[in-house]
Chain A
Amino acid sequence: GQQVMQIPQYQHVQEGEDFTTYCNSSTTLSNIQWYKQRPGGHPVFLIQLVKSGEVKKQKRLTFQFGEAKKNSSLHITATQTTDVGTYFCAGSGAGTASKLTFGTGTRLQVTL
């Protein structure tokens, strides 16, 4: 079955440093979504990427979908303590009923 891996598993940065998490799928994806889960909370949708090579920005967050639609990345510029949490990518194959497979997640810790 489809597998989605993320690296790194964990990253600790100083506030103001940049952060990047990478997501790799074992199969070609129809689209990819990114979620953020705060400690003790539930996943919250951030963004969806659909097109090959697509790049989207949300303030300090930049999301990219690979040309082959098998990988994606999330880059945070100048991290803040509010960025703390676990970032999950989640991919699905073709078809509106195709299930979403979540990645293994990257836990981000930001300290002053």
Chain B
Amino acid sequence: EAGVAQSPRYKIIEKRQSVAFWCNPISGHATLYWYQQILGQGPKLLIQFQNNGVVDDSQLPKDRFSAERLKGVDSTLKIQPAKLEDSAVYLCASSLVAAGGPRKTQYFGPGTRLLVL
């Protein structure tokens, strides 16, 4: 079974530039997550999709970050304009979520390492 795919793996940009990350979840996984992991910290949830609808985006800095999940499969996360403090690893994860059941395992992709100069 193929895992969660992410691209690019690395990105270096200057502050105020724009950047976009792409994620392809495991086939059949209805739930997709984007996390931001700053060096030395745990992953912080930015946004959670259930199919193509947003379930939680309470921690997404909406003035500069945006995300979409077209057709409930692939997803893109965009930062415009980037700031120095956006330097982090951006992790995409997916899971099966059965209604009424316990939370399902989240499978993480390799992440995109972003450096903002």
- Contact among B105, B107, B109 with A48 in the assembled complex (CB-CB below 8 Å): B105
Q: What's the nearest-Cβ distance from chain A to residue B34, in Å?
A: 12
5 more CB-based (< 8 A) A-B contacts, given A42-B91, A43-B106, A45-B107? A30-B103, A33-B103, A33-B106, A42-B109, A97-B50
Quick check: B45 and A100 within 8 Å, CB to CB?
yes
By a CB distance below 8 angstroms, the chain B residues around A99 are 45, 48, 56
Q: How large is the interface on B (under 10, 10 to 19, 20 to 34, 35 or more residues)?
A: 20 to 34
- Contact among B42, B100, B105, B109 with A45 in the assembled complex (CB-CB below 8 Å): B105
Q: How large is the interface on A (under 10, 10 to 19, 20 to 34, 35 or more residues)?
A: 20 to 34
- Contact among B44, B103, B107 with A96 in the assembled complex (CB-CB below 8 Å): B103
Asked if A88 lies at the interface with its beta carbon under 8 angstroms from chain B, I say yes
Asked if B2 lies at the interface with its beta carbon under 8 angstroms from chain A, I say no
- Contact among B41, B99, B108 with A43 in the assembled complex (CB-CB below 8 Å): B108
Q: What's the nearest-Cβ distance from chain B to residue A71, in Å?
A: 16
Q: Which residues of B79-117 have CB atoms within 8 Å of chain A's CB atoms?
A: 91, 97-103, 105-111
